[in-house]
Structure 1
Amino acid sequence: MTVVWICLAYWKQLATRPYIWGASVWAMFDFASDGRSEGSQPGLNDKGLVTRDRQIRKHAFYWYKANWATTPTLYITSRRWTQRTDATTEVKVYSNASQVTARQGMPPPRTPALRLRQPAHRPHRP
């Protein structure tokens, strides 16, 4: 079960219960856990939204940002996966923009739409 899948399930539960006025995330950063021997490294709980060294914001980080932040957010998932093995690729985007357009091999349109210095993401809102 991936962290993003958990976020989606959690979000659906919150969306159906408007009387809930607060929520929290398990861990912002990966952290040491001596008894843990699963995941990418022994002794590391890697379910944080950001890596332990604070260098990589994970997909779940951007999912929450697109759902809860008011700053413009657009993030294309799996963008670091460059060794593709199939002819087609599913593109998943997390964003809080009202509309997102994907274009392959074309320059971005020159409209005053969402402009970001770094890629972000778009979550699915239930």
Structure 2
Amino acid sequence: MSSQEQQATFWLEYSQQLSNTIRYTEALAAAEKAVALAPENPEAWYVRGTCLAMLARYQDALADFEHALALREPYAAAWDAKAWVLGILGHKEDALLAVNRALEIDPDYFEAQRRRSRLEAL
């Protein structure tokens, strides 16, 4: 792993720690550093998208999840996150398609199972 990749990993982990303590603006700044250091890393785009969603920047979050999926299509967490944001935006059918794709990739993905149940109940 190169020094730049190690730095990106540090910023991703730091972003997730900040997110866990509900410090989303700071988490976003850390995720942006990870994206700048490793723009080819789908996890960096996913983490940044999650931060954006927590800050109610849903269109930006959706774009980041799409970018993560363009880099690595079989990415269950990114499909589930896309479903989450689409659900918030009121796009139930698209959200169901996304969450179903997440479950095709990982049938045991608990968050996606819960999200699908919630979407189907709407």
Short-chain TM bin: 0.3 to 0.5
Flag the structure with higher strand content.
Answer: 1
* TM-score, scaled relative to structure 2: 0.36
- Structure with greater helix share of residues: 2
- Considering Cα pairs closer than 8 Å and 6+ residues apart, tell me whether 1 or 2 has the greater RCO: 1
